[in-house]
Structure 1
Amino acid sequence: MARKKIREYDSKRLLKEHLKRLAGIQLEICSAQVTESTDFTELTNKEPWLSSTRLVVKPDMLFGKRGKSGLVALNLDLAQVATFVKERLGVEVEMGGCKAPITTFIVEPFVPHHQEYYLSIVSERLGSTISFSECGGIEIEENWDKVKTIFLPTEKPMTSEACAPLIATLPLEVRDKIGEFIKGVFAVFQDLDFSFLEMNPFTLVNGEPYPLDMRGELDDTAAFKNFKKWGHIEFPLPFGRVLSPTESFVHALDEKTSASLKFTVLNPKGRIWTMVAGGGASVIYADTVGDLGYASELGNYAEYSGAPNEEEVLQYARVVIDCATADPDGRKRALLIGGGIANFTDVAATFNGIIRALRERNLS
């Protein structure tokens, strides 16, 4: 499983689209995405509610604690939203020790409310962990002792009985409504191959559940069976992470092939570089380098698998070798080439690609 974070805008879009299909629950939520290229006139024509309601605006950049960081503006009109975005678009902020400019915002209706609930679902090896609290919001961590949690094994369905411990202390007038909502959200979670989903908080508007703040992660290895359900989905890089030209090249190569080609530069000045076949083997090689005391010298993480052809491996190997030999400083460097068990990869083809790349660089 490859857990990939998605923007709040997409999390809410997927929930709204599929909650009705799977559970018959219509979410009355609206949201709009704003970036540098957004024309507010065109956006308003597409989303008329923007000009007729009070609004909330916040960055949609895969980091949390936006409210505590003063990055959420409430109860604005559209002109004030445009000003808020203009003042912060492209401005670098620091979150969790990472610095990056803000490039994407989400705009939604302002929803006055009193009660805030918390809900999260996490995919585990043998099932899913589901957590719920009547004390959601920005103080959830301070009230973690009030969070109720159940574990639902993979083979067990989400029934009213399974959900009951989560909602047992809710008032009777909202218990069934929230219980049905939790079951519906879990159905979406499973059907769309979410690996993580969190609402902190959601509330009730006219007696109906309404997510206010939401985070989601998808298992991107399930894209082959979900591309229609997911629609135009974006998997942004983690906040603060920018691809180097070589990483971008391999990423583009990976996008064009049915194989897997992964490459991340960890330390451009590192003396130990890897080119390993197989996801498990690549992690073991990297861990072993660290266990032997050379983590600070590890230049990269690299993994190829899924039967890439010789030409793809050639282009991939060129990148790894070029990075491993860049900016010589007189110190010896090592390139570890290895792998695990080949299930269906043509080893001769992959090694021919590596050998050709080595010969091109006069390293064989």
Structure 2
Amino acid sequence: MMSIRTQGHPVQNKCFSFSRLLAKFIHNLHGFYLDLYFTYLEINPLVVKNEQIYILDLAVKLDSTADFICRQKWGEIEYPPPFGRDAFPEEAYIADLDAKSGASLKLTILNKSGRIWTMVAGGGASVIYSDTICDMGGASELANYGEYSGAPTEQQTYEYAKTILCLMTQEKHPKGKVLIIGGGIANFTNVASTFKGIVTALQEFQPKLVDYNISIFVRRAGPNYQEGLRVMREVGKNLLIPLYVFGPETHMTSIVGMALGKKPIPKETEVEFATANFLLPGGQSKVPIIFPFYYYYFFAK
């Protein structure tokens, strides 16, 4: 704490006035910093003249994840493109959806001509699936990288799935294409709700899925996953394309080997385990047995 005596000397009075002015400015600047979700702010230099503060140069960094909170205050912000290139329209569209949502929606196009496409739930799972695809020799054919997580709504998942399907059906591949709809065991994302969004997009693209010779491999678990897998199996009967659906009884990355022709495709089991199904209504298992989480983590996957 600074103590300044101001009586009897004009210089002291001037210093006290300057200190009060600067303290008020810093206080207001801090509120401005918090309100606009800055992560960095630098003023250099700053000039005080005639009891007025002048900012001669300013540099700030924004927390881009707060875009959906501060969009109106920030106005139109153009972020630098990743990997030294401009974003594709589809990437920009998903980035805009992501900015307006509390969920996470990410998409990076790696190879538009590739035959292996992914639609993965979870950031960690997306890395595991991509690494497995590359490890099995599919790196040159991997078309995209991305993930959806954080409990997106049915509509948001529909928009995400529609964007990927639109990209998949822009050009044909002589060997056909595969779509891997994968994920681990969700903690709180309603699998049935997100799958309904994906199913709506699949039904919308049904003629193109046939025309572009697309096969789909699904593996998912989590709250209400039985209902989600049931809906996916039902719609698969009408899509007229190969569609294989698996739950937590199948290892998370097993569908990668199946999709790439490295592993045989087993018959879908009629027994489905209950994984955190008690969190949401309407998700009774065919076999009402609930195993602890560690069972799935170490054995069932």
Report 1 or 2 for greater relative contact order, CA contacts < 8 Å, sequence distance ≥ 6.
1
From the two aligned structures, give the one with the greater strand fraction: 1
Give 1 or 2: higher helix fraction. 2
Q: Could you say which structure has the larger radius of gyration?
A: 2
TM-score normalised by length of structure 2:
0.46
TM value normalised by structure 1: 0.40
